[in-house]
Amino acid sequence: MMSAKAEALRPFDLTVAQYGAMLSLYYVPGQSPSQLARAVAVTPQTMGATLDKLASKSLVTREPSKLHRKVLVVTLTPKGEKLLVKADAAARAVEERIGQAFSADERAQLRELLKRVSAALEESDPPVSAANTESDPDD
């Protein structure tokens, strides 16, 4: 699915992460880069690079928050909104093609199964990284 979306977004010169960030900003304007990283499920470093690219194309702006001067807030530009509307139609077409492969009952069952997967992941402890398991050489 990701490769199909990436292919659909290519004519708009957008990656899936860029599209995800723009879509999130469309629905919730004024997010911080860290909020966007969580929304799109990428690292803060990846989101920083993503926003750099979007800003270089004049698709987003980053400005200090009026509430917290050290926090940047990101917003779509009018150019970004126009591009997003076009790109979103292409991305949604991919989702519709996938949906057509299933009956209404199968789509309902799939939604339920995905909810259970999501709930199970939210309930479980985060995985232990290799960095957390290495022994200290001074021990």
Per-residue pLDDT tens over the stretch 72-98: 999 999 999 999 999 999 999 998 888
Select from 66, 73, 4 the least CA-distant residue to 33.
Answer: 73
Q: How far apart are CA 27 and CA 48, in angstroms?
A: 20
Grade residue 57 by pLDDT with cuts at 50, 70 and 90. very high
Residue 94 and residue 3 in contact, taking contact as beta carbons nearer than 8 Å: no
- The reported pLDDT for the residue numbered 124 is 67
Question: Token pair for residue 78?
Answer: 């009018």
Average pLDDT over residues 63-70: 85
- The reported pLDDT for the residue numbered 39 is 92
Q: How far apart are CA 52 and CA 33, in angstroms?
A: 11
- The reported pLDDT for the residue numbered 65 is 84
Q: Residue 21 pLDDT more than 60?
A: yes
Average pLDDT over residues 26-46: 93
What does the angle CA 45 – CA 77 – CA 59 come to, to the nearest 5 degrees? 45
Phi/psi of residue 62, each to 5°?
Answer: -125, 125
Q: Residue 61 pLDDT more than 70?
A: yes
Fold that domain 1-123 belongs to in CATH: Arc Repressor Mutant, subunit A (1.10.10)
Q: How far apart are CA 57 and CA 13, in angstroms?
A: 10
Secondary structure class of 58 (helix, strand, coil):
coil
Q: What is the mean pLDDT of the chain?
A: 87
Phi/psi of residue 126, each to 5°?
Answer: -65, 150
